[in-house]
Amino acid sequence: MSHENPAAATPERSGAAPFDGDEPAPATVPVALPESTEAAPTAPSSSDTWIAIQFGLAGLVWGASFLFMALALEGLSPAQVATGRTVFGALTLGLIALVTRDRLPRDRRVWGHLAVLSVTFAALPYLLFAWAQQYLASGVTSILNATTPIWTALLAGLLFKVETLTREQIIGIAVGTLGVVVIVGPWQGLGVGTGGIVPYLAVLGATACYGVSLSYMRRFLRDSGLSAIMLSFVMIGLAAVWMLILTPAIGLDPVTLTPSVVIAIVLLGALGTGFAYAWNQNVVRVWGATRSATVTYISPVVGVALGVLILGEVLVWNEPVGALLVLLGVLLAQRRLRLPTRRR
């Protein structure tokens, strides 16, 4: 969940889905395999073009999720956006699971872990993203969503103890944090009318939820034996149940259903929380998790571009500068960029 960082895949013979935090989350949320169990990329074939198209579509849709949220918020409350997203996402993933004939989990412990994740990886971050985007530009939200791998590295090392932080990762966390500060631009003042710093904290809270969830998955669901599609369906489906239960308390605000609002919420759920995840699964199976994780760098670019071109958002100098720092931090946190070592 954005992502909103959104997908893992196991070796093709089993279809099971261990998880890692190298990718963005489901606002956008794909999840990648741990390096130690990553499926080996297959040799190029005639279908590689279609895989490349699915890779591009996943990056485009996850980047466009912030545009969809902005449009949906023109007629729906944040809680209604989060509810619609989970409902349409669950319906789409359920249909995909039916086509692929995936089986529901039988282990009660797996159901328990997925119940936890339905809150931390879907319901809560979806609410936080939707609420924050009432005050923030969609492009800024998409940039901040890209901090998910930084949170994942930090929490995987400090909270869940599933890996030891390297020197590059520690520096990456620091650089990414600096990037966030530059994006927020505290020297410009934080106006009360725009929500102040709270919307920024809400987005960072959502990405922290993704970081917690990815590390949680890695520790407790790595050997679940289930496909990533089925795990996602159950997780998003449970999140939809929670949101529908909470609707009488938080989701009864007036609704304005214009064509653009309806189309936006359907696309946010069906594409951003449904098909894009399936596309990413196919890419991971063929290219491997490391190569497919580069979708992380596409989504913010798409989010910013769509915000400028369609919503008329204006970029301030500190936002692209901060975005570059966040990207550098992500590269270091994901250990894709190595720092030179001192020779003794």
Residue (of 155, 185, 153) closest to 169 by Cα position: 153
Angle of helix 259-267 relative to helix 78-100, nearest 10 degrees, comes to 50
What was the pLDDT predicted at 20? Answer: 46
How many other C-beta atoms are found inside a 10 Å radius of the C-beta of residue 328?
17
Tell me the chain's radius of gyration from C-alpha atoms.
19
Determine the 3-state secondary structure of 20 from DSSP.
Answer: strand
Residues 6+ apart with CB under 8 A from 311: 67, 70, 137, 138
What was the pLDDT predicted at 324? Answer: 94
Dihedral sign for Cα 311, 312, 316, 322, please: positive
- What residues in the chain have per-residue pLDDT under 70? 1-46, 162, 189-194, 289-290, 342-344
Q: Could you tell me if 299 and 139 are in contact, meaning their C-beta atoms sit under 8 angstroms apart?
A: no
ω before 4 within 30° of 0 (cis)? yes
Concatenating the DSSP letter of every residue in 184-231 gives H-GGG---GGGTTTHHHHHHHHHHHHHHHHHHHHHHHSTT----HHHH
The contacts found for 37-42 with CB under 8 angstroms, 24 or more apart, are 37/10, 37/222, 38/288, 38/289, 38/290, 39/9, 39/10, 39/11, 39/12, 39/284, 39/285, 39/288, 39/289, 40/288, 41/286, 41/287, 41/288, 41/291, 42/285, 42/286
Q: Could you tell me if 270 and 88 are in contact, meaning their C-beta atoms sit under 8 angstroms apart?
A: yes
Report the mean per-residue pLDDT for the chain: 83
Residues 6+ apart with CB under 8 A from 49: none
Residues 97-120 as b or e (16 or more Cβ within 10 Å = b): beeeebeebeeeebeebbeebbbb
Terminal-to-terminal C-alpha distance of the chain: 45
CA distance 311 to 92: 27
CA distance 136 to 201: 11
What are 20's strand-pairing partners? 32
Torsion of CA 34, 35, 36, 42, to 10 degrees: 110
- pLDDT tens-digit series, residues 282-326: 887 788 766 777 787 888 999 999 999 999 999 888 889 999 999
CA distance 19 to 103: 19
- pLDDT tens-digit series, residues 56-69: 999 999 999 999 99
